[in-house]
Chains A and B, each alone.
Chain A
Amino acid sequence: MREDGAETPELLERLRAGDARAFEALVVGHQHRVFGLALRMLNDAAEAEEIAQETFLRAHRSLAEFRGDAKLSTWLYAIASRLCLNRLASSDRRVARPGDEMLLRVADERQGPDVEAERGELEAALHRAIAELPEERRIVVVLRDLHGLAYDEIARVLDLELGTVRSRLHRARMDLKEKMERFLP
């Protein structure tokens, strides 16, 4: 499997047959997406890796039962999202470390110290704004605006009605707009 996570019927067959090489290709192809989702949700790199590993291990145990009526990426997002929300609901989870803020990066082609300082401030504000969202809104906006999933995919990943996805996404975006007020035109 390529880094972009493209999947083929042949790959699915090999995965169902327990082919270790095929599973490795699956991990290589989806590692950044799964880890990225966990990091955005948990704000802790170690915890995010733990959840990302667990996502792939659960997928590995269930591959024989994967029906193939959804994309593998959607299936992995569903496992990862559930694990993240469960972890966030857990009372004994670790507190996010401030250093992890810098894992958020905003693409900007401009250069220079002023721009860097501005970008750092923007990153920090964006990080805080996303982290302060209620979890059920945060995961929807992360899947939609950071990972680019369609509404129906998000509904499938989170097992929600389409209307609920729209509503939560709208609320999340409006919250972020309020919090990012000073960076907006």
Chain B
Amino acid sequence: MTCHDAHERLSDLLDDALEPDAAAVVEAHLAECAECRRELERLRATVGLLQRVEAPRAPAGFVDRVMDRAYPSPWYRRLGAWLFVPVSVKLPVEAAAVVLIAGLAIFLWERTPELREAARMERSAPASSPSAPAAPSAPAPTIAPEAERKRQDESQRGQFSAVPRASSTALPARRPSFPASVEGHLTVSDRAAADRSLADLISRVGGSESRRRQGATATVVEILIPEARYDEFIRSLQALGSWSAEGQPTTLPLDPPQIPVTVHIQ
């Protein structure tokens, strides 16, 4: 046997895959050939390295994935699972939505003074307390019960109808209406002239009209007067005609502080 012939059989010899006679011939050659013995040992070491390779393991969830493909769920079960099972996903999403909406509401509340003001007015409207004027801690305006009842009666009788606001009042658009803390009647001989004079007076003291209603027998003007000019406004109003008022002036915490007044010109 040549070395080449022996080399060709070394792999089989390692695996005991040679017939006994053939194995005996190869072993006889190896006994005489140091080079072929060395070759056999190197081949044995190579196979030893291969056999020491650790077997990899299938990834986690492999069996489930195979079973899901081999036995797919019916559509209604998959739909049910999609709708109801992933609560662990749905709950955090819903909680995040609630937090987001709450955050947005707080943000708008903080950034929108009108909203805050309207909320204050709504809270304080049912209460009717003659609080001291210009008291910062008592911003709730009040309406004298008698005046309020009278105003409601007038509205119910349809004495006043909404008309376009006179351009001379130069009111800002969509100005909110505030319940009057002081409501009075200005009896004059010439309503139109008194109306113009009132507009001038409002402008002079830095006030503003918040609403105007034109009736057959009276013109009702809701006004906001700066607290600092209130006394001057009342004195000037008395000069326009006969002024009789009810209620106590209550300051709204605006910037600058304002006192709501309703004037019935008749």
Contacts and interface: CB of A to CB of B under 8 A. Distances in A.
Interface of A: 20, 23-24, 27-28, 31-36, 39-40, 45, 49, 52-53, 56-57, 60, 103-108, 122, 126, 130, 141, 144-146, 151, 166, 169-170, 173-174, 176-177, 180, 183-185
B50 A146 contact: yes
Contacts of A28: 63
Interface in B37-78: 41-43, 45-47, 49-59, 62-63, 65-67, 69-71
B35 to A, nearest CB: 14
Output the residue of B46, B54, B70 with the most chain A CB within 10 A.
Answer: B46
A45 B15 CA distance: 31
**What is the predominant secondary structure among interface residues of chain B facing chain A?**
helix
Contact of A177 (B8, B42, B54): B42
A107 B53 CA distance: 6
Nearest to A122: B49
B11 A170 contact: yes
Contact of A183 (B11, B17, B49, B51): B49
B46 A176 contact: yes
A106 B59 CA distance: 19
A144 to B, nearest CB: 8
Output the residue of B57, B66, B70 with the most chain A CB within 10 A.
Answer: B66
Contacts of A32: 55-58
Contacts of A177: 42-43, 46
B66 A53 contact: yes
Given A105-B53, A126-B53, A53 B65 contact: yes
Contacts of A103: 56
A163 to B, nearest CB: 11
Output the residue of B7, B52, B58, B65 with the most chain A CB within 10 A.
Answer: B58
B55 A146 contact: yes
Given A53-B65, A185-B41, A166 B58 contact: no
Contacts of A130: 50
Contacts of B146: none
A87 B63 CA distance: 22
A53 B54 contact: no
A184 B45 contact: yes
Contacts of B200: none
B114 interface: no
B12 interface: yes
Contacts of A24: 63, 67
A183 B52 CA distance: 14
Nearest to B46: A177
A141 B47 CA distance: 9
30 contacts: A23-B67, A24-B63, A27-B62, A27-B63, A27-B67, A31-B63, A31-B66, A34-B58, A35-B56, A35-B57, A35-B62, A36-B58, A45-B59, A52-B62, A56-B66, A57-B69, A60-B70, A104-B54, A105-B54, A106-B52, A122-B49, A126-B50, A144-B15, A146-B51, A173-B46, A174-B11, A177-B43, A177-B46, A180-B46, A185-B42
Contacts of B57: 32, 35-36
A52 B58 contact: yes
A126 B8 contact: no
A184 B59 contact: no
Contacts of B70: 20, 23, 56-57, 60
Given A20-B71, A27-B63, A35-B56, A145 B50 contact: yes
B54 A106 contact: yes
Contacts of A104: 53-54, 56
Given A35-B57, A184-B45, A176 B63 contact: no
Contacts of B63: 24, 27-28, 31
Given A35-B59, A184-B45, 12 more contacts: A20-B67, A27-B66, A32-B56, A35-B62, A36-B56, A52-B58, A57-B69, A103-B56, A107-B52, A107-B54, A145-B50, A146-B55
